Amino acid sequence: MKNEGDLGPRALKATGTVYLVGAGPGDPGLLTLRGAELLGRADVVVYDYLAAQELLDLAPIGARRIYVGKSGSNHTLKQDEINELLVTEALAGNAVVRLKGGDPYVFGRGAEEALRLAEAGVAFEVVPGISSTIAAAGAAGIPLTHRDMASQIGILTGHEKPGKTNSALDYGALARLGTLSVVMGAENLPNILERLISAGKDPSTPAALVEWGATPRQRVVASTVSRLADEAKAAGLSAPALLVVGEVVGLRDKLNWFEKRPLFGKRILVTRTREQAGRLSGALRELGAEVLERPAIEIGPIEPNPPLAAALANLSDYGYLALTSPNGASLFLKALFASGLDSRALYGLKIVAIGPGTAEVLAGRGLKVDCLPKSFVAEGLVELFAELPRARVLLARAKEARDVLVLGLRNLGFELELVPLYETLIADWSGFENLSFIGYDSASAEEKKRSVSPNPIDLATLTSASVAEGLARHVPEGERPGVAVVSIGPITTKAARALGFNVVAEAKRATIEDLAAAAVACLADRPKPAL
Ligand code: SAH
């Protein structure tokens, strides 16, 4: 690797290392800190179908991402080939993260991979993950143990052929255990449950099948050992799914917090720029939504920028600094630093921001905003300035912004220096799969089955008129009326409607919190995906 001169124990890394990292059950938030750190400096990530897309995004942009497998028997690479791939990549000097669903050593053939690495003399490290055998049950509202119900857990694979006589599973012993947590049991469900009954399990024992547990696509059928197979089949549940058998399954009625969150089962498109998407996505995920981040626009800083350089060289000429977007705020401060100055150069200037998002960027750099308008739009800023003493205003913002602010301030008698900071560019979506905007309710069974796929989308969020224009570039005109949109405010709504989108809700105020609340209000009443 890069540190060839490094002697001592770390010298091993000179021949590369494989990290067998547990990805957790599907929610990217359930990765360990160690896993995140290793992904963050991986040269190669080898992953299969249970690894969440968001986890791949943690790897450096230049890292190679190698997909090696699908569900069940449908493997892209055979296990031997995966083993050899790990050895080869490590011996080539790479830091290889082998990202495996759940815990690397709970089924899923992690042991075989580690044994091959040991045999080949390749350095490896095992980073445990949260196993779906525990977490998928928990997310379905099923604690695997309870003092009065279950003091033992059996964790097993149900992937045994029907009619197999030399089963490795001792059903007599399993039937007596408090709780069973069974991976790879979906296809073989009737057989597993029948064998448990034949071995003495009470047919009325509660049992559940949890599909895509602990992910926004989780679906659960809870029933009894005798009836679960038919009911799960009728609901169309399939792999990946966890079978849970035992009295504890009955606790789901009381403990199912996960599916009760207001946006659970909804797929929402976040179109903000990559730098800004995080907070909105986080708020929506917190409410249970499956979030697809796809920036509709990109920010193209204007470089070189002589008007900005001139303004920065003469900051003491101004009475106000007005910033009208979070992007503008961070680009302005970046340019300030790059010019050799720092926030001390803003001494004496009153800082006016358009809204809390912009204020937050400034606060992150130790700068307090002096005034915020009542409504977080250009018109609101004009109203605010009407109350302020006249002085020169440095207005730094996007190149193609509306005239409202400039005209308004000039009418009020403010002397204005307008400095364009960035252009908004249409983001390139060529690397992404196509989006589908058919609501979940009308999606075909085939579409619903497609992994933790982003499609189809229930709602798109729009946070500015330029984002609406950006999205329009990616959605043919004829399809736009079918795209349900929640907008951050009246200007965005107007732009989105003019472009043909179906604006179904608008945030009360232009904040992320209100946007998320508007999404909840318009989606919460719609039926959850039917089982
Ligand atoms: N190492 C993994 C298990 C790998 S075997 C772990 O510790 O979780 C793959 C099987 O795990 C799937 O067929 C399914 O039975 C189960 N599984 C993995 N993720 C799951 C999820 N999110 N929900 C339900 N079952 C899951």
> Taking 50 as the threshold, does the pLDDT of residue 439 lie above it?
no
> Taking 70 as the threshold, does the pLDDT of residue 441 lie above it?
no
* Per-residue confidence band for 433, with pLDDT thresholds at 50, 70 and 90: low
pLDDT in the model for residue 5: 46
Q: Give 116-130 as a DSSP string.
A: HHHHTT-EEEEE---
* Per-residue confidence band for 139, with pLDDT thresholds at 50, 70 and 90: very high
491 lines ligand 1 (CB under 6 A): no
Q: Are 256 and 141 in contact (CB under 8 A)?
A: yes
Bridge pairing between strands 290-293 and 267-270: parallel
Q: In this structure, which amino acid lies at residue 472?
A: A
pLDDT in the model for residue 440: 37
* Per-residue confidence band for 435, with pLDDT thresholds at 50, 70 and 90: low
pLDDT in the model for residue 265: 86
**What confidence tens digit (pLDDT) does each residue in 22-36 have?**
999 988 889 999 999
For residue 233, the tally of other CB atoms under 10 A from its CB is: 15
What number is the average pLDDT over the span 53-71?
85
> Taking 80 as the threshold, does the pLDDT of residue 268 lie above it?
yes
% of the chain exceeding 70 in pLDDT: 88
* Per-residue confidence band for 2, with pLDDT thresholds at 50, 70 and 90: very low
What is the rounded distance in angstroms from the CA atom of residue 97 to the CA atom of residue 120? 17
> Taking 90 as the threshold, does the pLDDT of residue 273 lie above it?
no
Cα-flanking dihedrals φ and ψ of residue 129, to 5°?
Answer: -130, 170
Q: Are 423 and 302 in contact (CB under 8 A)?
A: yes
Q: Is 235 exposed, middle or buried (0-12, 13-18, 19+ CB in 10 A)?
A: middle
Which residue's CA is the nearest one to ligand 1's atom 5? Answer: 108
Catalytic residue among 2, 70, 334, 508: 70
What number is the average pLDDT over the span 444-461?
57
pLDDT in the model for residue 442: 40
Domain spanning 300-426, CATH class: alpha beta
pLDDT in the model for residue 75: 60
Specify the domain boundaries for CATH 3.30.950.10 within the chain: 134-260
Structure tokens of 223? 């029933």
What number is the average pLDDT over the span 192-216?
96
Q: Are 141 and 257 in contact (CB under 8 A)?
A: yes
Could you tell me the fold of the domain covering 267-296+427-523?
A: Rossmann fold (3.40.50)
**What confidence tens digit (pLDDT) does each residue in 323-336 have?**
999 999 999 999 99
pLDDT in the model for residue 454: 41
Q: How far is the CA of 210 from the centre of ligand 1 (A)?
A: 10
Specify the domain boundaries for CATH 3.40.50.10090 within the chain: 267-296+427-523, 300-426
pLDDT in the model for residue 447: 40
Closest by Cα among 502, 472, 470 to 487: 502
525 catalytic residue (yes or no): no
Residue 175 half-sphere exposure toward CB, CA atoms < 13 A: 17
Which residue's CA is the nearest one to ligand 1's atom 2? Answer: 102
What is the rounded distance in angstroms from the CA atom of residue 177 to the CA atom of residue 406? 74
Q: Where does 395-464 have alpha helices with state H? A: 404-411, 445-449
**What confidence tens digit (pLDDT) does each residue in 96-106 have?**
999 999 999 99
CATH second-level architecture of 15-130?
Answer: 3-Layer(aba) Sandwich (3.40)
Closest by Cα among 530, 454, 523 to 486: 523
Closest by Cα among 457, 265, 150, 24 to 256: 265
What is the rounded distance in angstroms from the CA atom of residue 36 to the CA atom of residue 43? 14
Bond before 240 cis per omega within 30 degrees: yes
Q: Which residue has the higher pLDDT, 4 or 106?
A: 106
What number is the average pLDDT over the span 337-349?
95
Q: How far is the CA of 39 from the centre of ligand 1 (A)?
A: 21
Q: How far is the CA of 219 from the centre of ligand 1 (A)?
A: 14
**290 strand-pairing partners:** 267
> Taking 90 as the threshold, does the pLDDT of residue 15 lie above it?
no
Question: 173-207 burial by CB neighbour count: b if 16+ within 10 A, else e?
Answer: ebbebbbbbbbbbbbbbebbbbbbeeeebeeebbb
Which residue's CA is the nearest one to ligand 1's atom 16? Answer: 183
What number is the average pLDDT over the span 311-339?
95
26 lines ligand 1 (CB under 6 A): yes
Lowest mean pLDDT among 7-11, 236-240, 301-305: 7-11
Q: Which residue has the higher pLDDT, 474 or 90?
A: 90
> Taking 90 as the threshold, does the pLDDT of residue 437 lie above it?
no
* Per-residue confidence band for 377, with pLDDT thresholds at 50, 70 and 90: confident
* Per-residue confidence band for 276, with pLDDT thresholds at 50, 70 and 90: confident
Residue 330 half-sphere exposure toward CB, CA atoms < 13 A: 11
* Per-residue confidence band for 414, with pLDDT thresholds at 50, 70 and 90: very high
pLDDT in the model for residue 402: 81
Q: Which residue has the higher pLDDT, 353 or 428?
A: 353
For residue 507, the tally of other CB atoms under 10 A from its CB is: 25
pLDDT in the model for residue 508: 95
What number is the average pLDDT over the span 188-203?
96
70 catalytic residue (yes or no): yes
Q: How far is the CA of 183 from the centre of ligand 1 (A)?
A: 6
pLDDT in the model for residue 48: 85
Catalytic residue among 27, 43, 48, 458: 48
For residue 412, the tally of other CB atoms under 10 A from its CB is: 16
The residue to mutate among 70, 183, 211, having the most atoms of ligand 1 within 8 angstroms of its beta carbon, is 183
CATH 1.10.390.10 fits 134-260, yes or no: no
What number is the average pLDDT over the span 441-448?
41
Structure tokens of 77? 């690479």
Lowest mean pLDDT among 1-10, 195-204, 402-411, 495-504: 1-10
What number is the average pLDDT over the span 107-121?
95
What number is the average pLDDT over the span 271-298?
86
Question: Cβ neighbours of residue 95 under 8 Å, at least 6 residues apart?
Answer: 1, 13, 16, 17, 19, 38, 41, 42, 43, 44
Cα-flanking dihedrals φ and ψ of residue 47, to 5°?
Answer: -135, 160
Q: Are 256 and 233 in contact (CB under 8 A)?
A: no
What is the rounded distance in angstroms from the CA atom of residue 131 to the CA atom of residue 247? 21
* Per-residue confidence band for 443, with pLDDT thresholds at 50, 70 and 90: very low
pLDDT in the model for residue 1: 43
Q: Is 165 exposed, middle or buried (0-12, 13-18, 19+ CB in 10 A)?
A: exposed
